[in-house]
Amino acid sequence: VELGKQNGKRIREDSIQRFKGLGEMNAEELRVTTMDVDHRVLGQVTLDDAAQADDLFSVLMGEDVEARRSFIQRNAKDVRFLDI
59 in a structural domain: yes
Does position 32 have pLDDT exceeding 50, yes or no?
Answer: yes
Residue 9 shares a structural domain with residue 31: yes
As for how many domains the chain has, the answer is 2
Residue 49 shares a structural domain with residue 71: yes
Boundaries of domain holding 60: 44-77
Which of 46, 44, 22, 24 is CA-nearest to residue 35? Answer: 22
The span from the CA of 60 to the CA of 25, in Å, is 24
Q: What is the pLDDT of residue 2?
A: 42
Q: Are 34 and 40 in contact (CB under 8 A)?
A: yes
Cα four-point dihedral sign 76, 73, 20, 36 = positive
Does position 13 have pLDDT exceeding 70, yes or no?
Answer: no
24 in a structural domain: yes
Task: Give the pTM.
Answer: 0.45
11 in a structural domain: yes
Residue 49 shares a structural domain with residue 25: no
DSSP assigned state of 7: T
83 in a structural domain: no
pLDDT band at 78 (very low <50, low <70, confident <90, very high): confident
* pLDDT, averaged across the chain: 82
| Residue of 58 and 17 predicted with greater confidence | 58
Residue 48 shares a structural domain with residue 73: yes
Secondary structure of residue 1 in the 3-state scheme:
coil
Percent pLDDT > 70 in the chain is 79
Helix (H) or strand (E) holding 5: strand 3-6
